[in-house]
Structure 1
Amino acid sequence: MKWTSYPYLLWIIIFILVPLVLVLLYAITATEEHISNLEFTLDNFNRFLDPKYFDVLWVSVKLALQSTVMTLILGYPIAILIAKEKPSKRNILISLFIIPMWMNFLLRTYAWLTLLGKNGIINFIISQLGFGPLDLLYNDGAVLLGMVYNFLPFMILPIYSVLVKIDNSLMESAEDLGANKFQVFTKITLPLSIPGIITGITMVFMPAVSTFVISRLLGGGQYMLIGNLVEQQFLWVGDWHFGSAISIIMMIFILLTMAITAKFDTQKKGSRGLW
């Protein structure tokens, strides 16, 4: 190991390994006693077996899956359109998705309160058309909209980065051999873009399933997602042990999800190689 890698190794130990060890230590202990008197237990994990916590997990996974599917449906055509543009125009379009990400995540979510509120811009336009104000906030739709808006670039960019590298001569050759546009898409574009789709799904699902800011602001506190539950245990209840146990469970869940998507991606690559 070269000496130049030591700063990175030190960074990993201080800011990744040590926090993980502390979270694990809180998760498997019951009291705040001195380290020599710690009582190790799995009760914090057993508490999560309560059906009410499974309901919270189910709602979190459901909304995360819905937002992932919606970002894929919206993001894939956008990525294709951008990849087909000239390089100069392509860079401008990509910048339009990247620049909003420079703004603070909390501020971007707060902006939707102004747009969707009863006195917001959308309801103002609706009232000018002669209709009554709509309840656009504090429901599943508002939370889902916030997730899709905030995480859509994480779906577009990986897919775009794969599509832009596909050799156009492959598509031209397929068309010369008599393939129509649908066949070119299903036989060439879609299979070759699978790695970008897998990466995009992973990058959207992971933050979506653990988010708590979006559900708190756009859900009005009516939606208890798994991220809100962890926040509640640490900041309001003061039960760091149970909060750490939930964090460990979510970490395992996310790692399993990543392993499944990675395995699926590997199988796809292998099948393409055999073909």
Structure 2
Amino acid sequence: MSVRLRQLGVLPFGGWPATAVAIIGVCIYLFPIYWMLISGLKDSAEIFANPPTFVPRAPSLAAFEYVFVRENVLRYLRNSLTIAIPVTLLTLVLGSMGAYAMSRLRNRLVDVAIVVVLLLQVFPEALLATPMFIIFRSIDLLNTFAAVILATTSKTLAFALVILRPMFRQVPFELEEASFVDGCTRLQTFRLVVLPLMKVPLIVVGTLCFVQAYGQFVYGLTLLSQQELQPATVGIYSFVGAEYADWHRVMAFSSIFVLPILVIFLAMQRRIVSGLTAGALK
């Protein structure tokens, strides 16, 4: 890790100082996850102990058992995945096609469209929730996964267009011309020539969009009033009341909730890092 950071110019020195700085940085980054896990093993009294305990005095799985048996955490996770997977697929399909088209059009209107898309990202989801509610109520899509999927895709699609467009512009046009000479159509060229070269950027964008959709809260709370349809983020929110919060159960629920994200990033960390640093090193 220290060698990688030194290559990127983050650490100007090598040897044990670089290793120590890297280890300290990783510990600081992972400490909130550690604190979340051990808080789920504490009881409600130890959560507020002063000074705080960094190792549970009497570890207990009672909070985890509660969220599995009483709160049906698996249903919440299934709902979150039911939203996140279609959002990711829709974003990759529409985003790759749109970004490819925008990268090949030499028109000022395309640049204006990109600026408009960036400006629209300034608006928070809480501000867009009310018009989204009105739109989906008028077409009878409230309390359906389709409403949350479409609303979330409208956010992630803009992100995909902005990120993928410059990536598509790096694909040499000569490769496409050669495919045209061989008799390929524009769609065949896009599918057989361009997309294989965009594998890593698409994986990065897909992963980030999945994380954003998996953690969707505002649209899930606004557009889904039926508890059996709500995602895990709304389920965690139900533990927090006006005067009291079951923080040890919140932490247990959150630990289970973040597990799929941790697994995805651990499994795909090399591809994600290589995609994020693409073009940074010569």
TM bin, normalised by shorter chain, reads: 0.7 to 0.9
Whether the 8 Å CA contact 1:82–1:93 is kept in 2: the answer is no
CA contact (8 A) 1:30 1:41 kept: yes
Query: For residue 209 of structure 1, what is the amino acid of its counterpart?
Result: Y
Check if 1:45 corresponds to 2:64.
yes
Q: Tell me if structure 1 keeps the 8 A contact 2:77–2:257.
A: no
Q: Which has the higher helix share?
A: 1
Match for residue 239 of structure 2? 233
**1:171 Cα deviation after fit:** 1.3
What SS class does the counterpart of residue 45 from structure 2 fall into?
A: coil
Describe the shift of the 1:226–1:86 C-alpha distance in structure 2 as closer, same or farther (beyond 3 A): same
Give CA deviations for 1:59-104 in whole Å, capped at 9, x if unaligned: 1111111222222232222111111112644322212221111112
TM-score, normalised via structure 2 length: 0.74
Aligned counterpart, 1:213: 218
Q: Which runs of 5+ in 1 are unaligned?
A: 118-122, 124-133, 267-275
Deviations 1:95-131 (A, max 9, x none): 22211111122102222123334xxxxx4xxxxxxxx
Structure 1 pair 235–207 and aligned structure 2 pair: CA distance change class (3 A): farther
2:202 aligned residue (197, 200, 217)? 197
Aligned counterparts of 1:113 and 1:49: Cα–Cα separation in 2: 31
Q: Distance in 2 between matches of 1:80 and 1:56?
A: 36
Q: Out of 155, 163, 167, which is 2:168 matched to? A: 163
Q: Which residue of 2 aligns with 1:187?
A: 192
Kindly provide the CA deviation profile for residues 124-156 of structure 1, in whole angstroms up to 9, marking residues without a partner as x. xxxxxxxxxx53323222222221222222332
- Percent identity over the alignment is 20
Kept after mapping to 1: 8 A contact 2:90/2:153: yes
The code of the aligned residue for 1:207 comes to: Q
**What residue number does 1:255 align with?**
262
Alignment of 1:47-86 (within 5 A): 47-50=66-69, 52-86=72-106
Take 1:195 and 1:15, find their aligned partners in 2: how far apart are those partners?
Answer: 28
Other structure's SS at 2:142 match: coil
- The AA in structure 1 aligned to 2:59 is F
Distance 2:266 2:109 in 1: 36
RCO higher in structure (CA 8 A, sep ≥6): 2
What TM-score does the superposition give when structure 1 sets the normalisation length?
0.76
State whether structure 2 residue 29 is matched by structure 1 residue 24.
Answer: no
**How far apart are the structure 1 equivalents of 2:141 and 2:183?**
49
Deviation at 1:161, TM superposition (A): 2.9
Q: Which amino acid aligns with 1:101?
A: Q
Q: 1:210 to 1:85 in 2, by over 3 A?
A: same
Per-residue deviation at 1:42?
A: 3.0
